[in-house]
Each structure stands twice: as structure tokens, then as C-alpha cells.
Amino acid sequence: MTSPAKRHSSGMFVGDALTLQQQVANLRILGDGNLVRNMRIGSALIALAGLAWFWFSDHDTEKVLALFFGGCGALVCLAISWGGPGFRHAAAATHKGRREPATIVLHPGLDDDAREGTMQGVLHPQSAHAHAWRMDFAKTFGWHPPEGLLQVEAVYLSDIAWPVLLVHPDGLLVPRGKPRRVD
């Protein structure tokens, strides 16, 4: 059973069945807003505070705690830094970008890097000049894309060779990492 969409205090919509407009609003909050930037700055400050605490601490227990908190802050900062550009590009694609019809064959993530709920697929743009791309997608929130062949709109930004966002009538697919070109 799906839960209806609710608006969180952060402004984001939560629930199992979000409309396309609600998913676009969530993506814009993540990519356009200051939320991710502030989280990266905050986690970097926690890492630096942990390092300073370690440096000035005289007790072994405090040093272990300092390393734990500093390491966690550093890991969160790195994770946000690696994943942030993809969401920023996808959010920009909701405002601008060249849209082209395409088909994608989706299947659950099967490789060692795949996380539960992630999808992989091969995108075949319908225009003759466009290249096919093997893509991994970030976990979707608010809809569950079906396996198999889907008709989507691939959105390209002018300075990036691959599509940064796929729009299906039921939801969004955001590429995770750099896609691999299929010849």
C-alpha cells in the first residue's frame, strides 16, 4: 500500500506515490537550494572540529571519539561532494536543457556497486546523431519505475555530453556517476 504525499518541514515531499511535479520540486530543493551546500559545509566543519579535538585532547578515549566524529564528518562531506554535481545538473535540467525522446531498458542494479533499489539501463535516444548510454541511476523516491522498456524524455545540458535527467510521465530518473557510452 502506498502512502500519500506529505510535505516535510524542509519543504520536500515525502511518500511512496509522488506526482511528477512533486518529484521535480524535491529535485530542485536538492540541486538548486542551499540544503546540500550547507550539509557539505557542516560536515566539513565537523571533520575539522574532530581533528582539532583529537589534536588538543589528552585522553585516549577522547581521541577515539574525536577520530570517530571527524571521520564521519569527512565521509559525509566526500559523499555529498561526489553525488552533489549529478543532482545539481538534474535540477538545472528541470529549468533548461534540450529534450529529446528516447527509450530505455531498465533492470535492477546487478553489479557490485549497486545499492538496493537502484536501477541500471541502456538509453537509446531516438535522434540519429545521439549516442546510446549505459547508465546507473540514483534511488528513486516517490515512484517505482518498472523493469523493461520505457519511453522517456532525455534532457541534455549544453556543456555535458550525456543526458543529466530522464523524465517519464510517472517520475524522474537521475543518473548516478558518469554514464558509459555504448557504441
Burial bucket for residue 126 (CB in 10 Å: 0-12, 13-18, 19+):
exposed
Residue 74 and residue 139 in one domain: no
pLDDT over 70, % of the chain = 90
Q: How many percent of the chain have pLDDT more than 90? A: 38
126 and 76 assigned to the same domain: no
Q: Do 3 and 68 share a domain, yes or no? A: yes
Last residue of a domain, one of 73, 95, 117: 95
Return the minimum-mean-pLDDT range out of 1-15, 63-77, 120-134. 1-15
Pair (47, 63) in one structural domain: yes
Q: Are residues 143 and 60 in the same domain?
A: no
pLDDT band at 116 (very low <50, low <70, confident <90, very high): low
Q: Which of 144, 107, 139, 141 is nearest to 123 (CA)?
A: 107
Do 89 and 133 belong to one domain? no
Residues 91 and 101 in one domain: no
Q: Does residue 6 register a pLDDT over 90? A: no
Domain boundary among 80, 95, 110: 95
Confidence of residue 2 (pLDDT cuts 50, 70, 90): low
Same domain, 56 and 12: yes
Region 25-31 average pLDDT: 82
Q: Are both 1 and 89 inside the same structural domain?
A: yes
Decide which of 55, 73, 95 is a domain's last residue: 95
How many alpha carbons fall within 13 Å on the CB side of residue 65?
A: 8
54/101 same-domain check:
no
pTM of the full structure: 0.76
| Statement to judge: residues 2 and 88 lie in one domain | yes
Question: Structural domain tally of the chain?
Answer: 2
Q: Domain residues for 150? A: 97-182
| 79 and 120 housed in the same domain | no
